[in-house]
Amino acid sequence: MFDNGYVMRWISVSNGGAVQILTYGEGVNHSWNGVPGSVMGSLNEVLGVPIFLLLGMGNLQGVQNALGK
């Protein structure tokens, strides 16, 4: 439902072992099942944050496990 865009995610590990998951995205929200694109854009902003925070926590845990931390 949030198509017509992209999300890039990358992992950064500092020399001290600090891990960051970085996320950047852009898109054009079109209407979906009769819901206007402007509403879809607002939904994307509201729902996207917790979705990517949850995914980021999983990524962070995976990287920390791989680094033995």
Domain range enclosing 15: 5-66
Mean pLDDT computed over 27-53? 85
Total-model pTM? 0.54
Distances (CA, A) of 15 to 12, 36, 59: 10, 46, 19
**pLDDT-derived band of residue 15, with 50, 70 and 90 as boundaries?**
very high
Give me the percent of the chain exceeding a pLDDT of 90. 3
Number of structural domains the chain divides into: 1
pLDDT over 70 (residue 66): yes
Distance CA 11, CA 22 (A): 6
